[in-house]
């Protein structure tokens, strides 16, 4: 009887379920930034490699209980829609918004959102899988060609997946996840600790448009990290 009870309690969580946790973080965080009609495809693609793709790509490395890489590739239209709705929801006048996806402010805002998404994801992993992962600082860049990105560590049988997202205005962006081939097996029931409110994560990681502006110059601060990264990649 005890063996049967143990079997009933046991549950295996695979790469696809970890990906689902990440998808939930994307929709929840974007919902908190004025983009509450973002949906993802019920179909997931198995891919052989992860890439930054035009028009705007962002990546974050994570390590700890398991290692991996998260990439989000936005089209110009999807990036501008998310950027505009985010700042408009914060009360930014429309005439002060950037007009092109190549503007530094668009990359800064999208990188800020990416940081919130991965922060929410690591929080959910800690809560649901009882393990801890840490994230690197997101790197966001506008580009006109594809750049292959690999994790700078040895992965145990790496698996890569891609999911398609649609915005309210039917613009598309893509989420890519590459991580260890890992299975989490629930051995027994346990009490779940309280999960932090996503709104708190959002508030703690959000900089207002005013703080992103250089008061002395009256414009956006130069994106030196972007330039350094592009140089390292040979672009």
With 80 as the cut, is the pLDDT of residue 214 above it? Answer: no
Task: Give the Cβ contact number of residue 194 at 10 Å.
Answer: 6
Give me the domains of the chain, ranges plus CATH numbers: 11-185+203-232 (3.40.1550.10)
Residue 144 phi, psi (nearest 5): -120, 10
- The full length of the chain comes to 235
Q: Is the per-residue pLDDT at 143 higher than 60?
A: yes
Full-model pTM: 0.77
- CA gap 173, 166 in Å, rounded: 7
- 171-193 pLDDT tens trace: 999 999 999 888 888 887 766 65
Q: Is the pLDDT of residue 88 over 60?
A: yes
Distance CA 230, CA 235 (A): 5
Per-residue burial over 29-56, b = 16 or more CB atoms within 10 Å of its CB, e = otherwise: bbebbebeebebeeebeeeeebbbbbbb
N- to C-terminal Cα separation, the chain:
63
User: pLDDT at position 213, please?
Assistant: 45
CA 112 to centroid of chain Cα atoms: 10
Q: What is the pLDDT of residue 192?
A: 61
Average the pLDDT over 100-112 and give the result: 93
Measured CA to CA in angstroms, residue 45 lies from 54, 102, 127, 162, 164 at distances of 19, 29, 26, 5, 9
Whether 140 has a pLDDT exceeding 90, the answer reads: no
Residue bearing tokens 């379920």: 17
- Percent of the chain clearing pLDDT 70 (strictly above): 74
Q: pLDDT tier at 200 (50, 70, 90 boundaries)?
A: low
| pLDDT tens-digit map of 15-37 | 999 999 999 999 999 999 999 99
Q: pLDDT > 90: what percent of the chain?
A: 53
What is the rounded distance in angstroms from the CA atom of residue 30 to the CA atom of residue 36? Answer: 6
């Amino acid at each position: 009887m005890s063996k049967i009870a143990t079997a009933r309690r046991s549950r295996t969580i695979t790469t696809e379920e970890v990906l689902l946790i990440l998808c939930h973080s994307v929709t929840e965080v974007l919902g908190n930034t004025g983009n509450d009609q973002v949906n993802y495809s019920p179909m997931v693609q198995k891919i052989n490699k992860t890439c930054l793709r035009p028009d705007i790509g962002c990546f974050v490395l994570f390590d700890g209980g398991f290692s991996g890489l998260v990439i989000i590739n936005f089209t110009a239209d999807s990036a501008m829609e998310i950027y505009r709705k985010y700042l408009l929801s914060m009360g930014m006048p429309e005439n002060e918004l950037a007009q092109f996806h190549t503007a530094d402010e668009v990359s800064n805002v999208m990188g800020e959102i990416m940081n919130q998404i991965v922060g929410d994801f690591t929080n959910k992993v800690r809560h649901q899988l009882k393990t801890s992962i840490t994230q690197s600082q997101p790197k966001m860049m506008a580009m006109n060609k594809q750049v292959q990105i690999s994790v700078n560590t040895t992965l145990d049988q790496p698996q890569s997946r891609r999911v398609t997202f649609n915005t309210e205005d039917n613009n598309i962006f893509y989420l890519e996840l590459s991580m260890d081939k890992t299975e989490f097996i629930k051995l027994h029931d346990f009490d779940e600790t309280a999960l932090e409110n996503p709104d708190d994560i959002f508030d703690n990681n959000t900089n207002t448009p005013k703080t992103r502006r250089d008061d002395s110059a009256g414009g956006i601060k130069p994106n030196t990290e972007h330039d350094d990264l592009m140089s390292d990649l040979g672009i």
